[in-house]
Amino acid sequence: MPDYLIFLMLISLLWIFGGIILGLHRLSVRIGLVPLLVFLGGITAAMQLQSWGWIHLQLLGYSINLDSLILFPALLFGALVIYVVNGTVQARSVFVGVMLISAMAIGFQLMPKFLAASNIPGFQAAPQGYPLRVGLASLVALVVDVIVLVVVYQMISNARRKYPSRVAGSLALLSALLSDAILFPLLAFFGTPNWPGAWHTHLLGKLCAGLVLLPLLIFYLRRVAPILPGTAATGPRPVFDLFTTNLQLETRALYHYNLLRTMSQLNQLIARSTNADELFQKVCDALIELRPYRMIWIGLIDEGSGQMKFTAQAGFTAEQVEAYAHHGKMIPLHQAAITKQALIINDVNQNNEVDPAWKKMMLATGCYAAGIFPIRSLDHIWGAVNVCMDRTDSFDRLEINLLQELADDLAYALANLEVRAQQTLLQAAAETMQDGIVITDFDGNMVYVNPSSARMMHASPSDLLGKPAADFIFSSGPPVMIQELIQTVKSQGKLKTEFVGRKAVSSVNVSIALDSEGQPAYLVSNVRDVTEQRAYERQLLTLHQLTTELVQIRDTPELMEAILHTSEDLLQANASGIYFVDPEHLQITDTLAHNLNPEYIQRIARDYRGLPG
C-alpha cells in the first residue's frame, strides 16, 4: 500500500476516535460522562492487552504499531478534554480509572508467566509471555504522561493569561506525547537491539498523531467548551491541581458563592436605588470588588446623537474609559445595541473586526477579553454594560448569564425609576390640585382618594380607603342606582353626572382605567365641588325671578309679600321683614314681616337701631 494511503488512513482513524470522544463529551450534558469513560476504558484495555499489537504498518521505512499511534494519543486527547472542561475532580477519576485498567490488563498478561514459574500442577503457560519490563514501562510512562499533560497545561494557562486554553491544551498534548515517546522506549527497550528503531518510531508517530488531533482540540476548546454549563475551562487553577483537588472544590464553591453574593448585592442595590447615576456607580464598584473583572463601565445611548456615553466606571480612571470609548469608535457597542444581543470578544488579540487603536489600547492595559451586554427592555435599548477581563476565554456561560441578567435588571431599574418619577409627579399634582380624584374598583369601593376629595367628604383619606364611595356621596346610604351608574360607565366608557351629598354638591366625570393587559381595572372620578357655584346660580335665578315678578305686580301688599318670599329664597333665609323708616325722624313707621317673632318686630320698631347689622 502506498505511503500516502497509509498516511490518510491513519489520519482518518485518529479523527474518528477524536470525533467519537468529542461527541460523547458534548452529549455528556444530557447523558453524563459514563459513556465517555467507558469508551476511554475500552481504549486503555485494548492498548494494554495489545488488541491491535499484531497490526504493524510500514510508513517511510518505519514499522508503526497502531496501539501507540492511534489508541494512546486518543486516550490522552480524551483525558485532556475532561480535565480542561470538566475540572480536576472528574479528570482525576479518569486518570485513576485508566491506571487501574492498565494495571489489571498488564497483570492478566503477566499471570501465565507467574503460573508457569510456580510449577503448580495442571497449569501450562504459553512459550512466550508478556514482557514484564514492557508492562511496567507502559504503566510508569502513563503516570508520567498524565502528570506532564496536566502540569504543562496549567503552567502555560497560568503563566500568560493572554494564552487561551486551546493554546495551552495543544502544547500540553504535544508535551505529553513527546514525554511518552522518549520515556516509554527508554524504559522498555534501552539496551536492547530494538532501542534505536523504537525510539525513532515512537517519537515520529506520536508527534504526528498529536498534530493531527490538534485541529479537533482547538475547535472544541474555542467553540464548544466555553458554552457548556459548569465549564472549568476559564477558571484559575493551581499548577499541581491534580494533587490538590480539594483546592479546586473550594475554588469552585467560592466561585458559586461569589456569584450568588454578587446577584444578591446587585438586586439589593437595584431595589433601593432612587437615582440612576448613583445606582450605576455602585453596581460598577460592586462588580470590581466581587468579580474578576479588570474594568467595567456602563454607558447610556444619548437620544440626540445616538452615541454611547459612559455614566459610571470602575477599574480604570474616567480618562481611560473615555479613551477606550473614543478609540473603539463604538463599533462593538453599536453592534450590540442594534442586534440586541450580547457581544463577546474572547480573544481581543485575534479579533480583526475591532478598531486597531482600540485593540492596542486594550492589550496595553492588560485586557484580553471583552463583553458588551445591552441594557434592553422589550422595545427600547438604554445602553450597555461593558466588561474587560485580563485573560482570554474568560466569559463562560455562567458569567455571560450573570452579566446579561444584570443588564436586564438595570433596564428594569431604569424603567422603574422613570415610572417612580412619573408617579411622584402625578401624586404631587393630585395632592395639590383643587379638584378631587377618587379611584374605585367596580364594586364602588375606594382605593385612592386625594386630599381635595377627602375634604369634600369631610373625612381623612385613610378613613375613606376600602369603603364604598356611595356612603359619603349620597345623603341616605348607597342607593341601588350606584351599580347602574357603574354599568353605564362600563358600556359607554365615561360618564358625567352630579351628586347632591349631605353637605355638598359635586360634579363628577367618571372614566375607566385599564390595566397593563388593556382590561378595565378601575373607575377614575374627577370630582369638583360646585356647592357655591350652584348657590350663586340659584341666587341669580331667584334675582331674575324677583325682578320679573316685581314689574308685573300692581298691588302694593302683594308686591311686598312677593319681595319677602323672594328675598328668603335669594338669601336662603327662614324669615324676612320689611321696615318702613321715616327719613325725617329716622324711626320705623311700619313693618311687613314673614316668620318673625312679634316681640322682635316690636323691639325693632321702637328703636330702628335695633336692626341687625
What would the pLDDT profile of 579-608 be if each residue is shown by its tens digit?
A: 777 777 767 777 777 777 777 777 766 665
Predicted confidence at residue 20, as pLDDT, reads: 95
Domain boundaries, the chain: 3-243, 248-423, 433-529, 537-610
Roughly what angle, to the nearest 10 degrees, separates helices 72-81 and 34-48? 150
Pairing of the two strands 343-345 and 369-376: antiparallel
Confidence of residue 463 (pLDDT cuts 50, 70, 90): confident
Q: Which residue has the cell 470522544?
A: 21
Residue type, 75: L
Instruction: List Cα–Cα distances, 398 to 26, 28, 225, 259, 401, in angstroms.
Output: 17, 18, 12, 9, 5
Task: Tell whether the model's pLDDT for residue 418 goes beyond 90.
Answer: no
Task: Tell whether the model's pLDDT for residue 311 goes beyond 70.
Answer: yes
Mean pLDDT of 527-534: 76
Residue from 82, 70, 198, 201 nearest 149 by CA: 82
Average model confidence (pLDDT) across the chain: 77
Q: What is the DSSP string of 151-207?
A: HHHHHHHHH-TTS-HHHHHHHHHHHHHHHHHHHHHHHHHTTSTTHHHHHHHHHHHHH
Predicted confidence at residue 99, as pLDDT, reads: 86
264 alpha carbon, distance to own chain's centre: 12
Mean pLDDT of 278-303: 84
534 or 208: which leads in pLDDT: 208
φ and ψ of 256, to 5 deg: -70, -35
Predicted confidence at residue 178, as pLDDT, reads: 92
399, three cell numbers: 458569567
292, three cell numbers: 474578576
Mean pLDDT of 282-309: 81
As a residue count, the chain comes to 613
Most confident range (mean pLDDT) of 152-166, 168-182, 437-451 is 168-182
Q: Which residue has the cell 458569567?
A: 399
Longest dimension (CA), the chain: 168
601, three cell numbers: 318686630
Residue from 111, 351, 117 nearest 222 by CA: 351
Predicted confidence at residue 16, as pLDDT, reads: 94
Query: Under a CB-based contact definition with an 8 Å cutoff, are residues 181 and 198 in contact?
Result: no
Query: Under a CB-based contact definition with an 8 Å cutoff, are residues 342 and 400 in contact?
Result: yes
Residue from 183, 194, 219, 209 nearest 72 by CA: 209
Task: Tell whether the model's pLDDT for residue 250 goes beyond 90.
Answer: no
21 or 233: which leads in pLDDT: 21
Mean pLDDT of 182-204: 81
The whole-angstrom separation of Cα 283 and Cα 262 is 10
The whole-angstrom separation of Cα 100 and Cα 249 is 24
Structure letter (DSSP) for residue 391: S
Confidence of residue 171 (pLDDT cuts 50, 70, 90): very high
Instruction: List Cα–Cα distances, 147 to 83, 179, 611, in angstroms.
Output: 12, 10, 120
Predicted confidence at residue 557, as pLDDT, reads: 72
Task: Tell whether the model's pLDDT for residue 93 goes beyond 80.
Answer: yes
292 or 215: which leads in pLDDT: 215
Pairing of the two strands 436-440 and 446-449: antiparallel
Instruction: List Cα–Cα distances, 135 to 102, 149, 188, 527, in angstroms.
Output: 9, 21, 8, 98
The whole-angstrom separation of Cα 238 and Cα 117 is 47
Q: What's the CATH number for 248-423?
A: 3.30.450.40
Mean pLDDT of 88-111: 81
SS3 assignment, position 383: strand
Q: What is the percentage of the chain residues whose pLDDT exceeds 70?
A: 76
Cross-strand partners of 381: 376
Q: What is the DSSP string of 488-536?
A: HHHHHSEEEEEEE-SS-EEEEEEEEEE-TTS-EEEEEEEEEE-HHHHHH
Structure letter (DSSP) for residue 122: T
Roughly what angle, to the nearest 10 degrees, separates helices 34-48 and 3-31? 140
Q: Which residue has the cell 434592553?
A: 376
One fold for both 248-423 and 433-529?
yes
Residues 6+ apart with CB under 8 A from 589: 580, 581, 582
Predicted confidence at residue 613, as pLDDT, reads: 40
Return the C-alpha torsion angle 165, 167, 171, 176, nearest 10: 30
Cross-strand partners of 437: 526
The whole-angstrom separation of Cα 466 and Cα 256 is 47
Predicted confidence at residue 476, as pLDDT, reads: 45
Residue from 414, 357, 356 nearest 380 by CA: 414
Residues 6+ apart with CB under 8 A from 548: none
Mean pLDDT of 91-96: 86
Residue from 140, 114, 131 nearest 50 by CA: 131
Domain 433-529 has CATH 3.30.450.20: yes
The whole-angstrom separation of Cα 235 and Cα 248 is 9
Predicted confidence at residue 573, as pLDDT, reads: 76
Predicted confidence at residue 514, as pLDDT, reads: 79
Q: What is the pLDDT of residues 465-503, one digit of tens each?
A: 888 877 776 544 445 456 677 777 777 777 787 767 666
